[in-house]
């Protein structure tokens, strides 16, 4: 005889399922709150670090700008020094030629067959040689200053390019949410997660309510059969089984 006893089992099963679902939903909520809290904290930390990094990059960019300006001024100073060295080299070379000519002229002066200034010729020649060496040294200095000016100009150009690259990086990092952890991108995940938790809670609550209803229904029906219109099957006893075939067991 099929009875309503299985309603009690079904009620207990639904209740257990609902309680388990509530426990799982609560655990999911706890884990979700903790995880999203950590993500939010990480987001705030990254935003703070991003602001500090942008400020540092802008500071370095300003320093490079000042250094590039200083190299420009230094290059101009080198150019002026190179021009002065070139002019001095030309002057020393010209003076050496003049002194050499004076030495020759003085040595050739003759008064009554005597060369009274002949002793000054070697001195003028020596001065001319010294001026010639000075002109050579000034020319070498001029060439070195020209090379230094080229190097300083190249350094200034490199610093300007580096400053432009740093400004580009700073402009890119100054955009909020550039690291991909802004609140707008995290919102869909939060909605989906909490929606799933709400669904589990509703299913668990429905299971508990259904279990309570089935349990009360089983208590109310007691031992009544599930299908009362079906007659119960009467089992034959041992005496009935031993009775003759023509005797009908009632």
Residue 191 lies in a domain: yes
Q: Half-sphere exposure of 179 toward its Cβ, with a 13 Å CA cutoff?
A: 16
Residue 17 lies in a domain: yes
Residue 170 lies in a domain: yes
Q: Give the pLDDT of the chain (250 residues) as one tens digit per residue.
A: 345 567 778 878 888 888 998 999 999 999 988 888 888 887 778 777 778 888 888 888 888 888 877 777 777 888 888 888 888 888 878 887 777 776 666 565 555 555 555 566 677 677 778 877 888 888 888 888 888 777 777 888 888 888 888 888 888 777 766 665 566 777 888 888 889 999 989 988 998 888 888 888 777 766 444 444 444 444 444 444 444 444 343 3
Task: Please give, one letter per residue, the 3-state secondary structure of 13-53.
Answer: HHHHHHHHHHHHHHHHHHHHHHHHHHHHHHHHHHHHHHHHH
Rg (CA), the chain: 54
Task: State the pLDDT at residue 110.
Answer: 56
- Calpha distance 126→100 (Å, rounded): 8
Residue 57 lies in a domain: yes
Strands (E), 54-198: none
Q: In this structure, what CATH number is given to the domain that contains residue 145?
A: 1.10.287
Residue 247 lies in a domain: no
Residue 127 lies in a domain: yes
Task: State the pLDDT at residue 27.
Answer: 92
Residue 250 lies in a domain: no
Q: How many domains does the chain have?
A: 1
Task: State the pLDDT at residue 83.
Answer: 84
Domain span holding position 67: 5-241
Residue 149 lies in a domain: yes
Task: State the pLDDT at residue 235.
Answer: 44
Single pTM value for the model: 0.51
Largest distance between two CA atoms of the chain:
194
Task: State the pLDDT at residue 23.
Answer: 92
- Calpha distance 164→170 (Å, rounded): 10
Residue tagged 């869909």 (tokens):
188
């Amino acid at each position: 005889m099929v009875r309503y006893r299985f309603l009690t089992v079904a009620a207990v099963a639904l209740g257990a399922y609902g309680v388990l679902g509530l426990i799982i939903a609560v655990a999911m909520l706890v884990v979700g709150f903790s995880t999203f809290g950590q993500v939010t904290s990480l987001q705030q930390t990254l935003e703070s670090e991003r602001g500090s990094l942008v400020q540092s990059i802008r500071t370095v960019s300003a320093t490079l700008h000042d250094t590039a300006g200083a190299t420009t001024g230094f290059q101009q100073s080198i150019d002026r020094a190179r021009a002065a060295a070139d002019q001095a080299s030309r002057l020393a070379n010209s003076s050496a030629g003049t002194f050499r000519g004076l030495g020759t002229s003085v040595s050739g002066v003759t008064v009554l067959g005597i060369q009274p200034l002949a002793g000054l010729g070697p001195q003028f020649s020596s001065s001319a040689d010294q001026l010639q060496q000075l002109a050579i040294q000034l020319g070498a200095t001029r060439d070195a200053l020209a090379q230094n000016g080229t190097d300083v100009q190249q350094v200034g150009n490199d610093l300007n390019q580096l400053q432009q690259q740093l400004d580009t990086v700073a402009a890119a990092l100054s955009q909020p949410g550039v690291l991909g952890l802004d609140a707008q991108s995290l919102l869909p995940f939060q909605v989906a997660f909490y929606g799933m938790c709400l669904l589990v809670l509703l299913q668990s609550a429905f299971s508990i309510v259904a279990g309570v209803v089935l349990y009360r229904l089983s208590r109310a029906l007691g031992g009544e059969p599930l299908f009362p219109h079906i007659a119960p099957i009467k089992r034959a006893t041992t005496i009935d089984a031993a009775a003759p075939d023509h005797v009908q067991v009632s």
